[in-house]
Structure 1
């Protein structure tokens, strides 16, 4: 009897515990259901819950966000099949969505154009998930309006297209501008070459003037001596007719010997000058590469400038060893020296009555390079001026006959034909120094 009572009490306790467990589980499920309902109703994302029915799904419920988005009361939506929403989504898009969802496949970011009840269209992104609940296949669909993103993408596409058109137009404009610039540049280069040619012709004029000046003295002396000798011969003839005296013959021989010596000396000097000028002319016109004595070429170049130095207190001193023999282009080198000295006379000594230009040279780097300096004690240059002196068409003598190509031509010859470089050091009131460095053997 006691055992029976104990068994009854045990079973009653177990049933009570089971009942309490069930009640607690129902309470927990109810709480979760309320929580899910709250989440479903308050979600800002439009949500729809449906179930599969005859190959389609029927709507069971929607949340507030869905109603607000589609402008359809929930009472009108419940139980309606997806196929009945002819205003909702196109038939082809709906078929694809149903196919994927019915196959139990999760749908993510399924983009379709949708319409609200009032006819307004928007681009929606659908995501869905199918679950088996109480023997039914439940379908939950979340909607997101991505119209603004689509519009932004369209705007970006339009902007890109516009930018591409603008870039294409700008590229065309730049090509046109480049073509015009190239034509302008060609015109400027032609003008520059014409001016450089004019500069060379001016230098040729100086060369001719130098030749005429240098030849004038020895030829004049030779002419005077020949005239004197002619008169002496005429006097001798008269003396012969009147009776030649020994003293007269001796005087004639002495004077004629002196005249002949003067004549020969001046003719030799003229011949030497002609030979030198001929070599200079050949070098200048042909840019002949040959071996030459640097000191001799510098003397020849300065000789051409004697007409500019005559009757002035400007002096050119050549301090160059006579032993320096190099292989290069003596003509262009002479042109460089001529231009540098002329530039000094024109600018550095403009307000000076006296001035000294010194040419120095020596071999450096195991005699593979020549360093030649042209230094003056003139006015000097400012830093700003030093940065521009080699630029084409830059001159401080605008409107006074300056072309601005003298030092530019010097720079081109040194860096191009002679294969070297040129540097300028100068200070205001302290003079300037042009330093040329070029190969001793080309």
Structure 2
């Protein structure tokens, strides 16, 4: 290749305009290099439309008339020979554009009025697909296009693909930046809501602890404190996971290694984290609202017809950040069509407590953790049983006999309140009008069995 062409290519390849993400700057840079290198009067970038039915002028520089053109459109059906050549040839080298099989259709309408005698068109390919052409137009008579000139225009077409990649990366980076800002804004909003909620809850607890008896404290009052902390903890975990994923995506962008697959996976992960966070924050807010309306009266919980398996799956899904962090496998064994008249809110609080207790007490320092929830129906007694089983550390007989007592905990001084299992007992026997029993041995897991009526009065 001639030294002049090599120098022009080098100048374009090292220009910051090429990788700036501003494709308009790159187009002007490349077209000016085409005009200088081939010593022609007109050069343009034409891109195929989305339907592949026409080719549209992106930018055409006309030095002969000192003009810039961006409004020309060539429909495929008006120039079938030219489009056939575009579809099948690597490069169109029309030394006499008026007679060449690929370009003769332009003779009367385009070439003669502009005194164009020869054309050199090179395809622009992006991600393996032809998206347009570089069109080089020689003013005057016929012209022979050398192999060096064809290679030169082909190399510039490849550099234009690099500019398009930079533009796409810039747009992707901007989208991720907006997503990051939106996430930070939502986290800040949820944090402010959380602070207000915790402040209200703390005030309510202090007043009730002073005025209520021990039996009342073992009921909904203490349950609210424990139950709000659980969905809040899950929401914080989900937000943390989302932040980690955003950091990972930002690193991929900075290293220019972000792929479409990684972006889609990242956005799916963020959507999942948002769903989990929003669902649990809404649950916490609802608990506070219910508490204000009903005080310590559990009987006000609503009765609903509920598909038990679907509802249990929804509960465990909301706890996914917690179970995943402890490597817990969850198995729900229940008839798909089992529907009951019950208090789903009470079931939700019970299993939130049970799973949380398994994580805090049963699975510490253990691998291959598993939780099994099985539901069976006794038609003769018109009852059903729910059996919750974990394969954790288990407990001694002495601890097992005290586990339902309010404020009893083996984690005194380490954040344990001793209210979780007391809440489970009260919800099962009062809100769900049933019975609850527990069985456990050291290093042999815990089994909690609920016997509940099929229909609540």
The TM tier, using the shorter chain, reads 0.3 to 0.5
Identify the structure with bigger relative contact order (alpha carbons < 8 Å, sequence gap 6+): 2
Q: Which has the larger radius of gyration?
A: 1
TM-score norm. by structure 2 comes to: 0.42
Given the two structures, how large is their TM-score scaled by the length of structure 1? Answer: 0.43
